[in-house]
Amino acid sequence: MKVFLKVWRQAGPDVTGRLVDYTADNVSPDMSFLEMLDSVNETLIAKGEEPIAFDSACREGICGTCGVMVDGRPHGPDPCTTVCQLHMRRYKDGDTIVIEPWRARAFPLIKDLVVDRSAFDRIIQAGGYTSVNTGGAQDANAILIPKTVADEAFESATCIGCGACVAACKNASAALFTSAKVTHLSLLPQGQVEAKTRVVAMVDAMDENGFGGCSNEGECEAVCPKGISLKNIATLNREYRRALLS
Amino acid sequence: MTLDSKVPSGPIQEKWDRHRFDSKLVNPANRRKHTVIIVGTGLAGASAAASLGELGYNVLSFCIHDSARRAHSIAAQGGINAAKNYQNDGDSIWRLFYDTVKGGDYRAREANVYRLAQLSVNIIDQCVAQGVPFAREYGGQLDNRSFGGAQVSRTFYARGQTGQQLLLGAYQSMMRQVAKGTVQMFAQREMLDVVVVNGKARGIIVRNLVTGKLERYVADAVCLATGGYGTAYYLSTNAVNSNVTAAWRAHKRGAFFANPCYTQIHPTCIPVNGDDQSKLTLMSESLRNDGRVWVPKNAGDKRHPNDIPESERDYYLERKYPSFGNLVPRDVASRNAKQVCDDGRGVGDSGLAVFLDFKDAINRLGEPVVASRYGNLFEMYQKITDENPYKEPMRMYPAIHYTMGGLWVDYNLMSTIPGLHVLGEANFSDHGANRLGASALMQGLADGYFVIPYTLAHYIASTPVEKITTDHDAFKEAEASVQNRITRMLTVKGSKTPRQLHRELGRLLWDEVGMSRTDAGLKRALARIPQLREEFWQNVSVPGDANNLNKNLEYAGRVADYLEFGELLALDALHRTESCGGHFREESQTPDGEAKRDDENFSYAAAWEYQGVGTAPTLHKEPLAFEHVKPSQRSYK
Amino acid sequence: MKVLRALSTTVGSKFLVALTGLLLVGFLIGHLAGNLLILLGGDKFNAYGHALITNPLVVPAELALMALLLVHMGKAIAHVLRGRSARPEAYAKKSWAGGPSRKSWASTTMALSGIFLLAFLIVHIATFKFGPYYASTEAGVRDLQRLVVEIFKNPLYAAGYVVAMGIVGLHLRHGVSSAFQSLGLMTNGVWTARLLNFGLLLAVIIAGGFALIPVWVYLFL
Closest CA–CA distance from residue C212 to any residue of chain A (Å) = 30
pLDDT at A147: 97
List of chain B residues with pLDDT < 50: none
pLDDT at C1: 61
**Chain C contact partners (≥3 CB pairs within 8 A):** A
pLDDT digits (tens, 9 = 90+) for B317-376: 999 999 899 988 888 899 999 999 999 999 998 899 999 999 999 999 999 999 988 888
Residues 6+ apart with CB under 8 A from B400: B230, B233, B235, B236, B237, B238, B263, B264, B265, B266, B280, B510, B514
Report how far residue A53's alpha carbon sits from residue A225's, in angstroms, rounded to the nearest whole number.
Answer: 22
pLDDT digits (tens, 9 = 90+) for C36-86: 999 999 899 999 999 999 999 999 999 999 999 999 999 999 999 999 999
| Count of structural domains within chain C | 1
Note whether residue C99 is domain-resident.
Answer: no
Q: How far is CA B155 from the centre of its chain?
A: 18
Query: How high does pLDDT run on average in chain C?
Result: 95
CA angle, corner B25, sides to B20 and B30, nearest 5?
155
Task: Detail the DSSP E strand segments found in chain A.
Answer: 3-9, 18-24, 69-70, 73-74, 96-100, 109-111, 114-115
Backbone angles phi and psi of B84, in degrees to 5: -80, -25
Residues of chain A contacting residue C181, judged by C-beta atoms under 8 Å apart: 216, 230, 233-234, 237
* CB interface of B with A, residues 448-467, below 8 Å: 449-450, 453
Closest CA to B280 of B550, B529, B506: B506
pLDDT digits (tens, 9 = 90+) for A9-59: 999 999 999 999 999 999 999 999 999 999 999 999 999 999 999 999 999
Q: Is B543 in contact with A185 (Cβ distance < 8 A)? A: no
Answer yes or no: is the ipTM higher than 0.90: yes
Report how far residue B286's alpha carbon sits from residue B297's, in angstroms, rounded to the nearest whole number.
Answer: 25
3-state secondary structure of B155: strand
Report how far residue B108's alpha carbon sits from residue B411's, in angstroms, rounded to the nearest whole number.
Answer: 12
Residue C195: strand pairing partners: none
Mean predicted confidence (pLDDT) in A207-232: 98
Chains C and B touch (3+ CB pairs under 8 A): no
Report how far residue B525's alpha carbon sits from residue B571's, in angstroms, rounded to the nearest whole number.
Answer: 9
Q: Which structural domain, as residue segments, surrounds residue C43? A: 2-86+104-220
Q: What DSSP line would sit under C177-205, residue for residue?
A: HHHHHHTT---SHHHHHHHHHHHHHHHHH
**Chain B contact partners (≥3 CB pairs within 8 A):** A
3-state secondary structure of B506: helix
Closest CA–CA distance from residue A7 to any residue of chain B (Å) = 17
Q: How confident is the model at residue A168 (pLDDT cuts 50, 70, 90)?
A: very high
Residues of chain A contacting residue C22, judged by C-beta atoms under 8 Å apart: none
Nearest to B552 among A45, A114, A116 (CB): A45
Residue C208's domain is classified under what CATH number? 1.20.1300.10
Q: Which of A27, A39, A63 to mutate to test the interface with B (most CBs of B within 10 A)?
A: A63
Note whether residue C93 is domain-resident.
Answer: no
- Residue B219 in contact with residue B194, Cβ under 8 Å? no
Report how far residue A109's alpha carbon sits from residue A199's, in angstroms, rounded to the nearest whole number.
Answer: 28
Report how far residue B588's alpha carbon sits from residue B584's, in angstroms, rounded to the nearest whole number.
Answer: 8
Q: Could you give the domains of chain A?
A: 3-100 (3.10.20.30), 117-132+143-244 (1.10.1060.10)
Output DSSP code: residue C125: I
Residues of chain C contacting residue A151, judged by C-beta atoms under 8 Å apart: none
Note whether residue C18 is domain-resident.
Answer: yes
Mean predicted confidence (pLDDT) in C99-122: 96
Closest CA to B233 of B614, B589, B569: B569
Q: Could you give the domains of chain B?
A: 267-399 (3.90.700.10), 476-623 (1.20.58.100)
Task: Detail the DSSP E strand segments found in B231-307.
Answer: 257-258, 263-269, 292-296
**Does B347 contact A at CB distance below 8 Å?**
no
Q: Is A128 in contact with B172 (Cβ distance < 8 A)? A: yes
- Does the structure show a pLDDT above 80 at A176? yes
Nearest to A35 among B168, B176, B277 (CB): B277
Note whether residue C126 is domain-resident.
Answer: yes
Cα dihedral across residues C66, C68, C70, C72: positive or negative: negative
Residues of chain C contacting residue A216, judged by C-beta atoms under 8 Å apart: 102, 107, 174, 177-178, 181-182
Closest CA to A42 of A20, A55, A26, A21: A26
Q: Which residues of A132-148 are buried (b: 16+ CB within 10 A; e: fewer)?
A: bbbeebeebbeeebebe
**Does B211 contact A at CB distance below 8 Å?**
no
Q: How far is CA B177 from the centre of its chain?
A: 26
Q: What DSSP line would sit under B90-132, residue for residue?
A: S--HHHHHHHHHHHTTT-S-HHHHHHHHHHHHHHHHHHHHHT-
CA-based max dimension of chain B: 75
Q: Is B497 in contact with A85 (Cβ distance < 8 A)? A: no
Note whether residue C97 is domain-resident.
Answer: no
Backbone angles phi and psi of C173, in degrees to 5: -60, -40
CA angle, corner B272, sides to B155 and B382, nearest 5?
65
Q: Is A103 in contact with C91 (Cβ distance < 8 A)? A: yes
Q: Which of A95, A149, A216 to mutate to test the interface with C (most CBs of C within 10 A)?
A: A216
B517 dihedral zone (left: phi>0; alpha: psi -120 to 50; beta) = beta
Note whether residue C92 is domain-resident.
Answer: no
Nearest to B131 among A55, A117, A184 (CB): A184
Q: What number of other Cβ atoms are within 10 A of residue C199's Cβ?
A: 21
- Residue B540 in contact with residue B494, Cβ under 8 Å? yes
Residues 6+ apart with CB under 8 A from C112: none
pLDDT at B146: 86
pLDDT at B284: 84
Q: Is B66 in contact with A116 (Cβ distance < 8 A)? A: yes
- Does the structure show a pLDDT above 90 at A224? yes
Residues of chain C contacting residue A172, judged by C-beta atoms under 8 Å apart: 83, 86-87
**Does C190 contact A at CB distance below 8 Å?**
no
B152 dihedral zone (left: phi>0; alpha: psi -120 to 50; beta) = beta
Note whether residue C216 is domain-resident.
Answer: yes
pLDDT digits (tens, 9 = 90+) for A113-144: 999 999 999 999 999 999 999 999 999 999 99
Q: Is B72 in contact with A129 (Cβ distance < 8 A)? A: no
